[in-house]
Amino acid sequence: MTARLARTIAWCAWHRGLADDVALIQPAPEPTTEPGCALYACRRCRETYRLTPWEDRS
């Protein structure tokens, strides 16, 4: 039996569609401060719009 890697499928906020190569761009704000949700972007949109994944920010 072959082990399968977990895939993250999420909504790309830039092209407004599902993608399986997404990265977190902006985490959700604290619920007590303002409404909103986390924003994810697929690889194509990250390259097109020059978006930096949250984990790569210093």
Range 17-35 burial, b when 16+ CB lie within 10 A, else e? eebeebbebeeeeeeeeee
pLDDT tens digit sequence for 3-54: 677 777 899 999 999 999 999 999 987 766 666 788 999 999 999 999 999 9
pLDDT at 1 (0 to 100): 59
| Contacting residues for 9 by C-beta, under 8 A, at least 6 apart | 18, 19, 20, 22
User: Could you tell me the strand order of the sheet in which 17-19 lies?
Assistant: 17-19, 10-12, 39-41, 23-26
Whether 20 and 8 have beta carbons less than 8 Å apart is answered as: yes
pLDDT at 44 (0 to 100): 97
